[in-house]
Structure 1
Amino acid sequence: MSDNRSPLHAPPWIVRTGARTWRCAPAPTEVRAFHAALPGHSPTPLIELPQLATELGVGRVFVKDESCRLGLPAFKVLGASWAIHRTLAEHADGAEEPGPVTLVAATDGNHGRAVARVARLLGQRAHIFVPQGVHPAAVAAIAAEQAQVTEVSGPYDEAVRRAAEAADAPHTVLVQDTAWPGYERIPGWIVEGYATLCAEIDEQLAAHGVAAGPDLVAVPVGVGSLAQAVVTHYRSRPRGRAPALLSVEPENAACVLHSLALGEPVSVTTGETIMAGLNCGTPSSIAWPYLYGGLDAAVAVPDADSARAADRLAALGVNSGPCGAATLAGTRAVLTGTGCAERRTALGLDVTSVVVLLSTEGTAANPHSNPVA
């Protein structure tokens, strides 16, 4: 793993062997039907960008555009809606006095807003803890969903700790998209909710004539929940093409990259980054076995690269915030520049390969979008 940041040097990255033969159980099939039944739900676009294919030296590039999912500017509502559905059903079955509950979460922006939106639509309360560094506009968007917002003078991990403490109150449930020993069932439901995104990609690629599936999927990583869903989707198949899976993180919060390098989950001290939704210092406990087993590679990118990638996507007509554009930045770092021939070979990619980039948020989700030239 290199720590050099100059474009003349290799990016901070790690490649691993055996991930494409690792297998796990599939996600529940009923999740897709649940989302399809929600008012206003429709699949988000999968956009082909031939210009990026030329720039990256591959056959075809597709971007999964999550800038508008159920009226919100990010994919997070897929997990929040399914987990809250399961949580409230369980609460109703076991409650002696049925009534509203308070749904508690910590967030860098998108997850908390999704929890608050679903709570409001279902007549529940929400209390969202926001760490230091989240843009005031993102905080205001959560509050606009009629949620109670508590701003924490510390990093994301501290906001998670405060949210977990608040959830000890009566008629209160923690709906968090990271797990730790003793708190894993609800984060698992959140991961299940993200399966809808992957199923849509299969159908949309087939409609574009790519029935065999992609050769590389790049996914942005915070605590690793979305990456867990992506690994589950592609590593639960008994046969067919097994794509390379690449995780992308900010250089200032590369907990998964460092964990993979050490072979065990570790916490890192995070710094400031425009990729606010990825600014997480500890991998989710339930995600870690999937990341360790099923990720082929991990790369970390600086803010400037993510901002430039967001600008490039905007020029091509794709609305992507810094977290979503991180996948283009990371893929570009791996497939181009010094040492790229070795990296491409390690991932089994050539000029005919099909690449899918997950753009997980639009600019409306992240007011920090594109502050770097």
Structure 2
Amino acid sequence: MIQRNNSDCYSRPLLPVDRQMFGPDATAKALEMLRLHPSYRATPLRELHGLAASVGIQSVHIKDESGRFGLGSFKSLGGAYAVVCLALEEASRVLGRVVNASELLDPDVRTVVRNLNVGCATDGNHGRSVAAGANLAGCRANIFVHEGVSPERIAAIARFGANVVEVAGNYDDAVAEAERVCHANGWIIVSDTSWPGYERIPRLVMQGYTVMVSEILAELERPPTHVFLQAGVGGFAAAMAASLTLDIGPARPKFIIVEPDRAACLFASNKVDAPVKIAPVEPTVMAMLECYEPSMLAWGILSRLADVYMTVCDADAIAAMQQLAAAENGTSRVIAGESGGAGLAGLLAAAADPHGRELIGLDSHSRVLLFNTEGATDPTIYKNLTGIDPGVLVPA
């Protein structure tokens, strides 16, 4: 299913706070801080020549986040960045001076930060990032997981020393429980979704994501004309759309938002031009995108910037995983998790539909940008879905 942006806000300017948080200066700040991480390096931007030719467009590039910081997901940029920012703010407040990221190992700073508690709900990747950020900063992380989060993903979070709390129900139930417990204990909620009165920390999370835009534009000779962005609550998609718009300017690309057909809260919100919560149905294999209510912050941005909303089915996502694993006869192979290939699934579905091609404006001059937002963060699930053992795949 595919539809144009129905919002009255469409094509209106971004808010001043969005320019402050996602513009080039903010991206430079996030990049400067993340470069202090000992394992920082720009992730690959892979060109898929054969795929572009097969769908009749000029080029396809995919930003491959499967190796980011060894955590397997773009979310390692956001949650960890926000936690470090909060830890530095707390140390600055207590010590009465500005504390920089280079001082994280200072004994006085560690003494202050070790008393800080952060918490969040997660499908897996965001919680892993928050736990990693807390481990780096020296504070405590409390991660709330719902019953659909696999044991492998829970173990990956626990390896960073986080307190993992298992919650009955779905992601929204974990969000509610995290909010209740964090408020009761005075812990700081580090969520990648926002609600009325809670926007500043999700903005920090999203600001961390903008590092990808800086890396991409440094490599591309010409900016993309189309960007397919998979979405759960919409934080990643909104951060990419805002940052690319503010960097590129009036010639900014078209943004196509791709969601699972079983959890398409942004698609449903666009229909009525207002954020709505949808009822849960059968779970989707795109577990990291299985969200039923948009982030208020993300919706405010996407209602201004998204050009098209579309949905893909589970079979499309699995086919995209398999195609990326075999891309270009192995020369540009990409190991994409269940949600990682959703953007490609959207491109293939749109390109195969004459109405979709026309609506999106795909033609022989189109330069498409995709994101592999996660690798095989659960190797067992990856093998079960694709029939491929990710351990034998080595990206080119």
The match for 1:23 is: 13
- In structure 1, distance between residues paired with 2:55 and 2:2: 17
Q: How far did 1:93 drift?
A: 3.3
Residue equivalent to 1:57: 56
Deviations 1:156-180 (A, max 9, x none): 1111111111212446211110000
2:279 is the alignment partner of 1:279: no
* Stretch of structure 1 that moved more, 101-110 or 85-94: 85-94
User: How far off its partner does 1:240 sit?
Assistant: 4.9
**Which residue, 277, 280, 299 being the options, matches 1:288?**
299
2:190 maps to 175
Question: Quick one: which of 131, 138, 161 aligns to 2:176?
Answer: 161
Determine if the alignment matches structure 1 residue 235 to structure 2 residue 237. no
CA change 1:78–1:354 in 2 (3 A) is: same
Aligned pairs for 1:212-223 within 5 A: 213-223=223-233
Match of 1:328 in 2: 344
CA deviation after TM superposition for structure 1 residue 220, in Å: 1.0
| C-alpha separation in 1, matches of 2:188 and 2:57 | 46
**Do structure 1's residue 98 and structure 2's residue 112 form an aligned pair?**
yes
1:136 aligns with 2:151: yes
**Hey, what's the Cα distance between the residues in 1 that align with 2:51 and 2:295?**
32
CA contact 2:278–2:293 (8 Å) conserved in 1: yes
Q: Deviations over 1:200-258 (max 9, x none)?
A: 1111212xxx2xx0011111101111111112113325745221101111111100111
Q: Does 1:343 align with 2:359?
A: no
1:74-106 superposed Cα distances (whole Å, 9 cap, x missing partner):
010111122112211222234499342121010
Q: Cα RMSD (Å) of the superposition? A: 2.0
Distance 2:113 2:35 in 1: 27
Match runs of 1:1-373 below 5 Å: 12-16=1-5, 21-24=11-14, 25=19, 26-27=22-23, 28=26, 29-95=28-94, 98-100=112-114, 101-170=116-185, 172-206=187-221, 210=222, 213-237=223-247, 239-270=249-280, 271-316=282-327, 317-336=333-352, 340-365=353-378, 367-369=380-382, 371-372=384-385
Identity %: 37
- Alpha-carbon separation, structure 2, partners of 1:121 and 1:235: 32
Residue 289 of structure 1: how far off its partner (Å): 1.0
Contact 2:6/2:273 (<8 A) preserved: no
Where does residue 100 of structure 2 map in the other structure? none
Question: Relative to structure 2, which stretch is displaced further, 230-239 or 357-366?
Answer: 230-239
- The answer (yes or no) to whether the contact 2:80–2:131 under 8 Å persists in 1 is no
Query: How far 1:343 sits from its partner (Å)?
Result: 2.2
Contact 1:251 1:302 in 2 (8 A): yes
Normalised TM-score (structure 1): 0.90
| Structure 1 residues 239 and 128: alpha-carbon distance in aligned structure 2, compared to 1, 3 A threshold | closer
Give the 3 Å change call, closer, same or farther, for CA 56–145 of structure 1 in structure 2: same
Distance 1:205 1:233 in 2: 15
Please tell me the residue identity of whatever aligns with 2:112. P
Give the Cα–Cα distance (whole angstroms) in 2 for the partners of residues 241 and 367 of structure 1.
42
C-alpha deviations, 1:174-211, integer Å up to 9, x for none? 111000012111011101111101111111212xxx2x
What are the superposed Cα offsets for residues 114-135 of structure 1, whole Å, 9 maximum, x if unpaired? Answer: 1111211222111111112111
Q: Which amino acid aligns with 2:307?
A: D
CA–CA separation in structure 2 for the residues paired with 1:319 and 1:76: 16
Q: For residues 303-355 of structure 1, what are the alpha-carbon distances to aligned partners after superposition, in whole Å with 9 as ceiling and x for unaligned?
A: 1110111011001211111111111111111111xxx2332222222112110
Count of residue correspondences = 354
CA contact (8 A) 2:113 2:138 kept: no
> Please, which runs of 5 or more residues in structure 1 have no aligned partner?
1-11
1:41-92 CA distance string (max 9 Å, x none): 0110000011111222211111110001112100101111221122112222
Partners of 2:5 and 2:254 lie apart in 1 by 10
- CA separation of 1:365 and 1:371: change in aligned 2, threshold 3 A: closer
Answer yes or no: is the 8 Å Cα contact 1:57–1:351 preserved in 2. yes
Report the TM-score when normalising by structure 2.
0.85
